[in-house]
Chains A and B, each alone.
Chain A
Amino acid sequence: MDLSLIIMQLLSGIALGAVLVITALGLTIVFGMLGVVNFAHGALFMIGAYAGLYVASLTGSFWWGLLLAPILIGVFGMLIEFVLIRRLYGRSIDDPLLLTFGLSYILVEGVRIVFGSDGIPFPTPPQLVGVLDLGIGFFPRYRLFVIALVAVVLLVLWLTLEKTRIGLIVRAGARDPVIMQVLGVDIGRVWLAIFGLGVGLAALGGVLAGPMRSVNPEMGSLVLAEAFVVTVIGGLGSIVGAVVAGLMVGVSISLVALFAPEMATIVMFALMAVVLLIRPQGLFGVRGRTA
C-alpha cells in the first residue's frame, strides 16, 4: 500500500468530515446556547438541500441556492423557535427534544407531498465539475471546494463569537441568561437568532451535500445520527469539539474504509463508545453540565 493512496484516503476523510462538522455545528451551537437538542436537525438538513435545489432551478445558478437556502431555512427555523419551542422553555429539558422529533415527521412528509418521494437530481455546479490532478491522484473539485468553504464558515463564526460585541452577548447569554436580562439584553431575541443560525447551518450542510449525494426526503435521517455521534464525541455545546470530532470521525471512517470497508459505518459508533468510557462528557465537554 503506497503513501499516495493513504494521502488520498486522508483527503477524502477530511472532505467527509467537513460535511459532518457543518451539520454537527448547528446542533451543538443550539444546545450550547439554548439547552435544546434539535431532533429535526436532520429533516432541516434535507429541507436545506431541497431549498437549494429549488432556488438554483429558479435562478439557474447553484450559487444563489447556496447563498439563499440557508438564509431562507434559517428564517424558517426562527419561526419554529418563535411559534413552538419558545412555549417549552422552563418545562422539562426533554420537551423540546420530543417536540422537534414530532416536527421532523411533519417536515419529511411535507417534502414528500410537495416534491414527491423519489430522489431529485442535484447537478454539480459547472465550475466545479470534474477532478483536479494533485500529482498523486485525482480528487473531485467540488469536494475540495466544500473543504475550503467549511473552513471559511468556521473562521467567520469564530471571529464573530470571539471578537465582536454580538459574540460577547451570545457567550454571556449561554453562561447566565438571567444576568443578561438584568443587564437589559433581550435574551429572547438572542435565542431566536441562535436557533435561526443553527438551522441555517443545517440547511447549508444540506445544500453542500446535495451535489454529492442524491437528494431525497430520507437523506436527513442518517445525517441526524451522524451529527449526534459527532456532538457526543466532541462534547455537547462545544464548537471546537464539533470541529475536532467531525474531522476525527471523517478520517477514521476513511482509514477504516481502506482496511475493512464493510466496517466503515460501525467505526464511528465504536469511537463514540470508547470516548464515553474514558470521558463521559465528550472530548471538549464541560463536566457537570450534561454528564
Chain B
Amino acid sequence: MPKSRSTPKLTRRTALAGLSASAAMLAMPRLGRAADETIRIGFPTPLTGPFAAEARDQVKCAELAVKLVNDKGGIGGRKVELLVRDDKLNAGEAATRTLELIEKDKVHAVVGALSSAVQLAVNEVTRARGVIYVSISQSDTINEAKDFSKYTFHEALNPHMTTSAVARQTLKKGMKVAHLVADYAYGHEMLRGFKRAQAAIGADNVGEILHPFGAADYSTFMPRLMSMRPDVLCISNFGRDQANAIKQAVDFGVKQQMKIVVPVILHNQRLAVGPDVFEGVVGGANYYWGLETQNKTAADFNAAFKAANGGAIPTDYGAYGYSGVGSLLAAMQTAGGTETDKVVDALEKLQYDLTKGPQHFRKCDHQSVQSVLVLESKKKSAMATDNDLFAIVANDSGSDEMLRSCSELGHAT
C-alpha cells in the first residue's frame, strides 16, 4: 500500500560493495555523504494487526511531514524519502525490519513503533549500531538509564506524564480509588503513576486488581471491584484490553457507582466501542483535533492534514507520526545534513512547535517535554459531528516537572 515501499532496488553487485563499506562504517562515526543523495528515514509501523488503523494514520502524518519539507526544497537540497515497513506489532519482526533498513536500505534515521515492546526492540538494534531513532510509542522503561541510547529520542508521552495529568483532574483529597491493571510492564508503569499522583493529592487506595495481559473477559473481576466501593476506578491497560474492560465494567453497572478513568483514551478505540460505553470516561491524550479552537498550531496541522487526505482529521497516534518525523527533519535542517553526531546535538537543542504548542527534548533521557491533554468522552446526544468525540477537560502545558527526575531514572546529573 504505501508508495514509499518501492525503494530504488539496489543491484546485487552494488549491494555487495555496500556491505563491505558498511562493515567499515559501523566501526567509526558516520561521515557526511554526497550532498545530492536522498535522505532516507525508516518507518516501522504495525500495518497489520489490531493497531492497523493507528498505523495508517501514522504513515499519513509522517508522509505529510516529509512532503512539507520536500515542497520547500528538501534539506540542503536533498530530498527526503520515507521507507515504511510493516512491523506486524511484533518485536522480532520490528528488529528484523530495522536491521534490513539499516543494512540494506542504509537509512539515515529510524522513526516509529507503536508498542512498548516494539519500541524497545528497535531501540536495541539502533543503539548497537549508532543510528538515530525517534520513538513514538509510550513507555516509562525506555526513559530509564538501562535502556538509554545517546541516539534515541522519545517523542511520545509516557505513562508517568499521562497518569499524573489525568489524576489531577479527576481525584480529590479523601476520594476512594480502585485500580484494575494489566499485569505487564506498561500496566505496572501506569499503576505506579496513578498511585504516586493519588498519594500527592491525598486520595485513598481501596484496592488494586491485576488482570492477565490480553484477557478477553473481565467479568470475574467486577464483583470484587464493586465490593471495594470506590469513587473512582482507574483502568490501567491499553487498546482492546481497555475497550473490553470498560465495556464489561459498564455492563456490571460500574458507572452508576463510580467514575471510570484511564491513562490514555484512544480515538480509534472510542470509535470501535461506541459512545454509550465510553460516555463520561476521562483519559489522557497527546493530541485531539478539537484543540484547533484554542491552539493555532493545531489548527494549521489539521488544515494541512485535511488538504492532503481529502478532509479527514488527524488522530492522536497520527500526530506522533507527524511530530516524530517533523522534529527529526527540523534537526537535520539545523545540522545541515545527516551527520549523526551533529543531528543528535541539534535534536538536544531543538525547540519545536509542530502540532500543539512548544516542545523540546530533555537532555538526560531525551524525553520530549510537551503538553498533556485530558479528555472526557462525550455522550451521543452531545456530539456535533461523528468526529466530535471528546470534550477537552484540561490542557497542561509542558514542563520538566511533569517528568520523573533524571536522578530517579538513573542518569548522571
Contact = CB atoms under 8 A, between A and B. Distances in A.
A125 interface: no
A110 interface: no
A206 B220 CA distance: 19
Nearest to B243: A214
B248 A212 contact: yes
Nearest to B214: A222
A218 B273 contact: no
Interface string A9-29: 100110110000000000000
B212 A117 contact: no
A188 interface: no
B240 A262 contact: no
Interface string B255-272: 000000000000011011
Interface string A240-264: 0000000000000110011001111
B52 A118 contact: yes
Interface string B181-195: 001000000000000
B271 to A, nearest CB: 7
Contact of A264 (B53, B212, B222, B277): B212
Contacts of B269: 119
Nearest to B208: A261
A213 interface: yes
Contact of A262 (B211, B244, B248): B211
Interface in A223-273: 223, 253-254, 257-258, 261-266
A117 B219 contact: no
Contacts of B224: 5, 9, 257-258
Q: Is the interface of B mostly helix, strand, loop or mixed?
A: helix
B240 A124 contact: no
B251 A214 contact: no
B227 A12 contact: no
Nearest to B53: A118
A214 B226 contact: no
B352 interface: no
Nearest to B55: A117
A137 B227 CA distance: 9
Contact of A214 (B52, B210, B273): B273
B209 A261 contact: yes
A179 interface: no
A143 B251 contact: yes
Given A12-B223, A213-B244, A261-B211, A118 B271 contact: yes
Interface in B34-53: 48-50, 52-53
B247 A213 contact: yes
B215 A264 contact: yes
Q: Which residue of A13, A116, A139 has the most chain B CB atoms within 10 A of its CB atom?
A: A139
A5 B220 CA distance: 11
B247 A214 contact: yes
B223 A121 contact: no
Interface residues of B, number: 38
B91 to A, nearest CB: 18
Interface in A137-161: 137-140, 142-143
Given A123-B276, A124-B251, A257 B221 contact: yes
Q: Which residue of A8, A9, A130, A264 has the most chain B CB atoms within 10 A of its CB atom?
A: A264
Contacts of A124: 251
B16 interface: no
Interface string B263-298: 000001101111011000000000000000000000
A214 B220 contact: no
A219 B211 contact: no
Contact of B223 (A9, A219, A264, A266): A9
Interface of A: 5, 8-9, 12-13, 15-16, 112, 116-121, 123-124, 130-131, 137-140, 142-143, 212-214, 216, 218-219, 222-223, 253-254, 257-258, 261-266
Given A140-B219, A214-B240, 11 more contacts: A5-B224, A16-B219, A118-B268, A119-B272, A119-B273, A121-B277, A138-B252, A213-B216, A222-B214, A257-B224, A265-B212
Closest 5 CB pairs of A and B: A121-B274, A119-B272, A257-B220, A8-B223, A265-B212
27 contacts: A5-B223, A12-B219, A16-B217, A117-B49, A117-B52, A119-B269, A121-B274, A124-B251, A131-B251, A131-B252, A137-B223, A137-B226, A138-B253, A139-B252, A140-B219, A140-B251, A214-B247, A214-B273, A216-B240, A222-B214, A223-B216, A257-B224, A258-B224, A261-B209, A261-B210, A262-B210, A264-B212
Interface of B: 48-50, 52-53, 183, 209-212, 214-217, 219-224, 226-227, 240, 243-244, 247-248, 251-253, 268-269, 271-274, 276-277
